[in-house]
Structure 1
Amino acid sequence: MKKLLKKYGERPLIIYLVAFYTFIALVDFMRSFYFLYSGPRRVTNDFTGLVLVSVVDWAFVILFMCSVSLLTKYLLMKRVSWTKIIPLHIVLSILQSYLVGFISPLLLTYELITIELGFFEKVTHTFLFNVTTNILLYSSMILIIYAYFYLQQVKNQEIRNKVLENSLIKFKLKTLESQLNPHFLFNTLNSISSLIPKNPDTAQDMVADISFLLRKFLSIDDKNFITIREELEILEYYTNILKQRFQEDLVITQEVEESILHKQIPRLLIQPIIENSIKHGFSQENKKLNIHLSIQEKEGSILLSVENNGKKIPKYPIYSNSGIGIINIKERLQALYHGKSDFYFENMSHGVKTVITIPMA
């Protein structure tokens, strides 16, 4: 019995049924008290019997409907057809009404009416007199039972969808990051390779910087978000590598609000933007590149901008040529913020500006 209750019992549902029928029973008792005991056409002097009938009726109906709730969950779990469930509930509603009809003749003494009737005649009389009300009450409580299970099913489905969505997001982010890290490392190693014949000491310094970056990547491998302070620490070593390669032709400056250094942003968010600025900024007309990074809080969001004085964006840019890093950022922002972030490029009088706005966690 305990296993049955544990498997099919629903405590919140039982509480709802008890609360509902307790209210109905109290109203019905007041009605019976007036019409049967204290009204102008009183039919019984047995007040104790009247109270006892109400209590036993309340207990019987609660027990019966709790059993029906167990049966209902069983039928739903077994996916029983509605063509079988509906006739079953019709039979149960009539059965409950008939069984309730036994309570009053057994416990209540009618001194002024139905004295000449036999016991089963009294039962039949009570049943027929209350059958409509009892069936309506049964139907109301069945609606509560099915509404509970329906809402529970909807809630469980939402939870399953959320878990699935989170799993898909994690999978997508891992896939994107698996693309980003080799891409970044390939570009950096390519730079080191080009420096070895010309300047082996500089290449050695770059190897030291990239070894730190590799350790840092391993330490944050299981994180989707890191603090701005951590992101800037990674960026510092990355820019050291860039400066070794470009020397005085590349100047990178920063302007970051101290108060938001502990705030979290998607990992490796800034590095691809710097890389993209260098890739598209240098040209025959722009042989020296200045890049300015700004991170600040604005209206409850983190506003991150990267400005450079390099080549401007064409009027009709080919976004497919933006590079894997920028495409990666767009897809990660969409996966993490579901359209609540912003990412765009714009031309300025002196160059190009890249802007990212993300909600502040």
Structure 2
Amino acid sequence: MKRKDFIILLWISLGTSLFFFFAFTDEKTVENFFLTLLISAMYSFLLGAGNGLINDFLNKKIPWSEATTKRTIISIISILLANTILVYFCNYMNFVVFQKAVSTQEYFSGRYNFINWFTINIALLISAFLHAKGFMEELKKTSKKEVVEQKLIAKSANAQFESLKNQLDPHFLFNSLNVLSSLIDENPAKAQKFTASMSKIYRYVLEQKDKELVTIEDEIEFAKTYCDLLKTRFEESVNFEFNVKNEDMRRFVVPLSLQLLLENCIKHNLATSSKPLLITIFTEGDNLCIENNLQIREQIKESAGIGLANIVQRYSLLTDKNVFIEKSEDYFKVKLPVLNDKPSVVTNLMEDDNHAYDRAKKRMMEIKSFYGNLIAYCVIIPFLIILNLITSPKSLWFYWPMLGWGIGVAAHGMGTFAVGKDWEERKIREILEKQNRNGKY
């Protein structure tokens, strides 16, 4: 037991002992006060600490977050059994041992059944409050943990995406300068033309590399310009064909994907005037394809592996659709998924985070409302019972508010934790999963 809990139980013992001493004790002596204090402490510590230990034990063995239904059933059974045993023991010690009001035989004859039943109900209310408090604390911990995890995922995905995009700038510049250095020796006139074209293309690289997606039309226009640049160096050794449908032009792909794949084609294949390399760019279903005849070049040094890997990773952060690679003895083909909408990694993550926060806030308000209702019930009903027994013990009217309000609290709890919310959340997940499987963005 924590020190804080011990102090709380001491204050409860003192408060109840003072109440019963001044309200129900005829002989107000020091001896009777300490007897009342001893009895109050017995009830407070045995019932309070007993229920607290049960709650702590179940929190370790069966946490609310891992098995809510199982925990609820075991909690109900355990608190019913434990409180019944503890109440019978406390009342026995009170009436038989301390007060010596009745004998053991009289106590178990049924004379004190109503008092036992009444005390058990009070104990169950206290126990329900303790278990509800434990559930609330674990829910807060779980919610905080989930929020932290989601923020870490969002930051990680954003950093990863930025890192991938930042590879494009030096990668393009490095490869272009390599081509330029080759042309300076081979053909200075072409090197000048290449330099002029490169400035135009590099402007596009700088503009588009910070975007998540671009239209196929923009990417094709850039690819054609880049192909002209390659033709400057390779002339008739490399040929290009573009067969993209007009209706696909307004759809989206990741930026600079064609440029990276064109580089791969040149880098990994031989291209000569007698054996030209043919590169075809076309749409096929929901894919933008780039295909070349296979003329594998022996690699002098190991490739950095930036091109295709970069494209695959960027697509994985934007969509569930995959990049496909086909390879045979005659050709090599890469299929890029074409998207109908233009999702944003950062925007989507922020929107998801905001929606999750709003849902969590609404959920917390619902739970807070339920626990407010439960606490009010646990405080007011015992007060009404005591008031009823003091003012008119022969007419027990407290049953009606206790029963009616109890049904309301139970219904409130079911609506907050059980039937309603679980059904809604399951249905929402089913709809979202179905939409994702059908590829609706």
Quickly say closer, same or farther: Cα 1:145–1:183, change in 2 above 3 A.
same
- Which residue does 2:291 correspond to in 1? 307
- 1:358 and 1:263, CA in 2 relative to 1: closer, same or farther beyond 3 A? closer
Distance 1:311 1:341 in 2: 29
Is 1:351–2:270 an aligned residue pair?
no
Is residue 236 of structure 1 aligned with residue 224 of structure 2? yes
Query: Contact 2:215 / 2:252 at 8 angstroms: preserved in 1?
Result: yes
Structure 1 residues 205 and 88 mapped into 2: Cα distance closer, same or farther (>3 Å)?
A: farther
- Which string of whole-angstrom CA distances, capped at 9 and with x for unpartnered residues, describes residues 101-131 of structure 1? 98xx9xxxxxxxxxxxx94269x99997633
1:270 is matched with which residue: 250, 258, 261? 258
Task: Give the alignment's TM-score, normalised by structure 2.
Answer: 0.48
| Residue 231 of structure 1: how far off its partner (Å) | 2.5
The SS at the match of 1:262 is coil
CA distance in 2, matches of 1:156, 1:238: 50
For the residue of structure 2 that corresponds to 1:222, the secondary structure is coil
SS in 2 for 1:270: helix
- The question of whether the paired residues in 2 share the 8 Å contact of 1:276 and 1:323 is answered with no
| Counterpart residue identity of residue 343, structure 1 | V
Q: Measure how far apart 1:284 and its partner are.
A: 6.8
Name the Cα RMSD after superposition: 4.1
Q: Distance in 2 between matches of 1:235 and 1:129?
A: 84
| Pairwise CA distance, 1:183 | 1.9
User: Which residue is 2:163 aligned to?
Assistant: 175
Pairing partner for 1:325 from 307, 310, 315: 307
Q: Take 1:328 and 1:221, find their aligned partners in 2: how far apart are those partners?
A: 12
SS for the counterpart of 2:222 is: helix
Q: How does 1:79-228 map to 2 (within 5 A)?
A: 83-84=2-3, 87=6, 98=16, 119-120=23-24, 130-228=118-216
**Residue identity matched to 1:293:** I
CA distance in 1, matches of 2:290, 2:119: 78
- What is the distance in 2 between the residues matched to 1:202 and 1:273? 23
Instruction: Report the Cα offset of residue 178 of structure 1.
Output: 3.0
Residue 229 of structure 1: how far off its partner (Å): 2.8
Once residues 321 and 230 of structure 2 are traced to their aligned partners in structure 1, the CA distance between those partners, rounded to angstroms, is: 29
**TM-score, normalising length: structure 1:** 0.57
Aligned-pair CA distance for 1:244? 1.4
- 1:260, 1:297 within 8 Å by CA — same for their partners in 2? no
The yes-or-no answer on 1:261 pairing with 2:249 is yes
- Choose from 269, 277, 294 the match for 2:282: 294
Q: Does 1:249 align with 2:237?
A: yes
Secondary structure, counterpart of 1:352 in structure 2: strand
Please tell me the residue identity of whatever aligns with 1:262.
Answer: R
User: What SS does structure 1 have at the residue aligned with 2:282?
Assistant: strand
Residue 257 of structure 2 aligns to a residue whose secondary structure is: coil
Pairwise CA distance, 1:311: 1.9
Letter of the 2:120 partner, please give it: T
The answer for unaligned runs of 5 or more in structure 1 is 1-81, 106-117
Higher fraction of helix = 2
After TM superposition, give the deviation of residue 288 of structure 1 in Å.
Answer: 0.5
Residue type at the aligned position of 2:2:
T
TM-fit CA distance, 1:307: 1.0
Name the aligned partner's letter for residue 346 of structure 1: E
1:226 and 1:265 in contact (8 A); partners too: yes
Contact 1:346 1:353 in 2 (8 A): yes
From the superposition, tell whether residues 257 and 322 of structure 1 become closer, same or farther in structure 2 (CA, over 3 Å).
farther
Q: Residue in 1 aligned with 2:102?
A: none
Aligned identity (percent) is 27
Rounded Cα–Cα distance in structure 2 between residues aligned with 1:261 and 1:89: 71
Rate the CA distance shift 1:233–1:150 in 2: closer, same or farther, 3 A. Answer: farther
Deviation at 1:360, TM superposition (A): 5.4
- Answer whether contact 1:229 1:262 (CA < 8 A) is retained: yes
What one-letter code is carried by the residue in structure 1 that aligns with 2:170?
P
1:226, CA displacement in angstroms?
A: 2.7
Report the Cα offset of residue 167 of structure 1: 1.8
Partners of 1:94 and 1:313 lie apart in 2 by 88
Q: 1:155 to 1:304 in 2, by over 3 A?
A: farther
Relative distance call for 1:89 and 1:193 in structure 2 (3 A) is: same
Partners of 2:324 and 2:336 within 8 A in 1: yes
User: Which structure: greater strand fraction?
Assistant: 1
Residues 146/215 of structure 1: CA separation in 2 closer, same or farther (3 Å cut):
farther
Cα shift at 1:294: 2.4
C-alpha displacement of 1:90: 5.9
1:350 Cα shift? Answer: 3.3
Letter in 2 for 1:179: Q
Could you say what secondary structure the match of 2:241 adopts? strand
Aligned residue for 1:13? none
Contact in 2 for aligned 1:216/1:234 (Cα 8 Å): yes
Alignment partners' CA distance in 1, 2:242 and 2:124: 73
Contact 2:323 2:336 in 1 (8 A): yes
1:13-41 Cα deviation digits (max 9, x unpaired)? xxxxxxxxxxxxxxxxxxxxxxxxxxxxx
Separation in 2, partners of 1:160, 1:345 = 37
Alignment CA distance shift 1:217-1:157 (3 Å): farther
SS where residue 205 of structure 1 aligns? helix
After TM superposition, give the deviation of residue 264 of structure 1 in Å. Answer: 3.4
Q: Kindly state the Cα deviation for residue 91 of structure 1 after the two structures are TM-superposed.
A: 6.3
Q: Distance in 2 between matches of 1:120 and 1:127?
A: 16
Cα distance in 2 between the residues matched to 1:323 and 1:354: 15
1:92 Cα shift?
A: 7.9
Unaligned ranges ≥5, structure 2? 27-39, 41-90, 92-113, 342-441
